[in-house]
């Protein structure tokens, strides 16, 4: 188990280092001068030079790379070019929107998908199964931004139950904050839930064919007991894999939903930072997101090991 963890941790650090090199080089090649973006079309050359010097852009690239990576290691993320505040502060303000949103969406999709998937599997090829599979297909096919717009039209514009977007802020109280995240979380969760339902269904079906399930039934366990006690637990490994992937997707891939609901989250920060050439924010965010993806994968691996004792020896992999 220890060897397994150490190997995984080394992988984690190596991946992050590669991500840092790649994002730095890509942004060096990308056309667009942050100073020019800030000062616009009327700026004079000496003003631009002054701003570039102020932002440290007049130094050579290799020096800036080592300063940046050194800063990351010591937890110093640098200052945003455009906002002129520490990047850590910017990210901190956004994480409190994106993280709860991702967790809510993940919780919603799990709560919807796992029971539905198991039920569909247990009613294999019956009407309910066909209906649920059909609904899941529909859920996968619906783009989440379009679903989001429908939700807004119904719940915000017509019924006026929840705001059409924006984030009330946690200091406005727990409920108003959760309220502003409800629709976006639901819009995000639906397609994820649809995918997860299908994965759960097919995984449970597969496990139901296994010998040990037949043995459990032969021992006299009822169909449901065998299903819930033996099959579901074993069927969860692929489900957890998908969940891990989905969480990374939810954290990083909410750009569209955050735009539709104008939520001040990480996705929108990244989007704005790219457009404004706030390169330091882009770099920090990409490494942070890469880090969170790698970390979640690490946790998923640990999760396998907990669910399947055979994996703890560090040898096999699913």
Q: Please, what sign has the CA dihedral across residues 197, 199, 200, 202?
A: positive
From the list 289, 225, 204, the residue with the least C-alpha distance to 252 is: 289
The smaller minimum CB distance to another protein, of residues 236 and 279, is found at: 279
The smaller minimum CB distance to another protein, of residues 94 and 230, is found at: 94
Applying CB under 8 A, which of residues 268, 270, 283, 304 lies at the interface with another protein? 268
Site string for another protein, 119-158 (x = CB under 8 A): ------------------------------x--xx--xx-
C-alpha atoms less than 13 angstroms from C-alpha of 265 in its C-beta half-sphere: 29
Applying CB under 8 A, which of residues 117, 163, 184, 244 lies at the interface with another protein? 163
Q: Does 41 bind another protein (CB under 8 A)?
A: yes
Enumerate the β-bridge partners of residue 79: 86
Q: Please, what sign has the CA dihedral across residues 305, 311, 316, 318?
A: negative
Q: Does 314 bind another protein (CB under 8 A)?
A: no
Q: How far apart are CA 236 and CA 242, in angstroms?
A: 10
Contact 117, 196 (CB under 8 A): yes
Closest contact distance (angstroms) between CB of 32 and another protein is 3
Considering only residues 208 to 267 of the shown chain, the ones binding another protein according to CB under 8 A are 259-265
From the list 146, 131, 257, the residue with the least C-alpha distance to 197 is: 131
Q: How far apart are CA 201 and CA 192, in angstroms?
A: 14
In the block, tokens 């735009």 appear at: 259
The smaller minimum CB distance to another protein, of residues 140 and 274, is found at: 274
Q: Does 27 bind another protein (CB under 8 A)?
A: no
**Interacting residue ranges for another protein, rule: CB under 8 A:** 31-33, 36-44, 46-47, 50-51, 53-54, 82-85, 90, 93-94, 149, 152-153, 156-157, 159-167, 169, 175, 179, 259-265, 268-269, 272, 275-278
């Amino acid at each position: 188990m220890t060897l397994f963890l150490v190997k995984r941790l080394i992988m984690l650090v190596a991946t992050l280092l590669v991500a840092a090199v790649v994002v730095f080089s890509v942004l060096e090649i990308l056309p667009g001068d942050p100073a020019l973006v800030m000062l616009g079309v009327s700026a004079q050359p000496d003003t631009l030079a002054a701003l570039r010097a102020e932002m440290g852009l007049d130094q050579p690239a290799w020096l800036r790379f080592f300063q940046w990576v050194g800063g990351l290691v010591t937890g110093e993320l640098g200052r945003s070019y455009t906002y002129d505040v520490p990047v850590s502060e910017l990210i901190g303000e956004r994480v409190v929107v994106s993280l709860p949103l991702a967790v809510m969406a993940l919780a919603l999709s799990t709560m919807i998908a796992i029971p539905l998937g198991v039920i569909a599997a247990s009613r294999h090829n019956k009407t309910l199964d066909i209906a649920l599979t059909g609904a899941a297909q529909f859920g996968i096919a619906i783009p989440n931004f379009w679903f989001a717009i429908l939700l807004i039209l119904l719940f915000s514009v017509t019924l006026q139950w929840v705001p059409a977007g924006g984030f009330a802020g946690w200091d406005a109280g727990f409920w108003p904050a959760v309220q502003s995240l409800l629709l976006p979380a639901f819009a995000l969760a639906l397609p994820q839930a649809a995918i997860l339902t299908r994965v759960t269904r097919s995984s449970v079906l597969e496990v139901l064919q296994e010998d040990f399930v037949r043995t459990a039934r032969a021992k006299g366990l009822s169909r449901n007991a065998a299903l819930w006690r033996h099959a579901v637990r074993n069927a969860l490994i692929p489900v957890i894999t998908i969940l891990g992937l989905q969480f990374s997707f939810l954290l990083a891939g909410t750009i569209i939903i955050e735009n539709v609901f104008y939520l001040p989250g990480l996705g929108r920060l990244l989007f704005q930072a790219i457009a404004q050439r706030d390169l330091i924010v882009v770099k920090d965010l990409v490494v942070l997101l890469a880090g969170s993806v790698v970390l979640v994968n690490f946790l998923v691996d640990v999760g396998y090991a907990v669910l399947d004792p055979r994996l703890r020896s560090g040898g096999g992999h699913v």
